[in-house]
Amino acid sequence: MSVTTIRLQPELEENLMAISHSMNRTKSWVINQALKEFVDRQKLEQERWQQTLIAMESAAKGQIVAGEEVQQWLETWGTDKELPAPEIRK
């Protein structure tokens, strides 16, 4: 495990200490948890952005699925008569 030094604003340091005491954890543990959540969230946002770019490119090419077809499909989710996913129109 590596060691990184950071400077905290006094208010943040106080809040961090309060949280670590209330959780009976070290400040290091709380910081690691917070950073892990932040990094995971950033990775997810990047993945979603890439998916959005791909979707926009597909739409620009005319590769779309009609909204009505998607709605009909979604209405059957979790039922015994679930429809297959609608196909992309080219």
The residue ranges of the chain whose pLDDT is under 70 are: 90
Residue 1's CB is within 10 A of a number of other CB atoms, namely 4
Instruction: Examine residue 73 and state whether it is found in any structural domain, yes or no.
Output: no
Instruction: Examine residue 83 and state whether it is found in any structural domain, yes or no.
Output: no
Instruction: Examine residue 80 and state whether it is found in any structural domain, yes or no.
Output: no
pLDDT of residue 89: 75
pLDDT of residue 69: 92
Taking CB atoms within 8 Å and a gap of at least 24, the contacts of 80-84 are none
Domain limits at 14? 10-60
- Domain count of the chain? 1
Stated pTM of the model: 0.67
pLDDT of residue 1: 86
Tokens linked to 64: 């779309």
Q: How many CA atoms lie within 13 A of 8 on its CB side?
A: 13
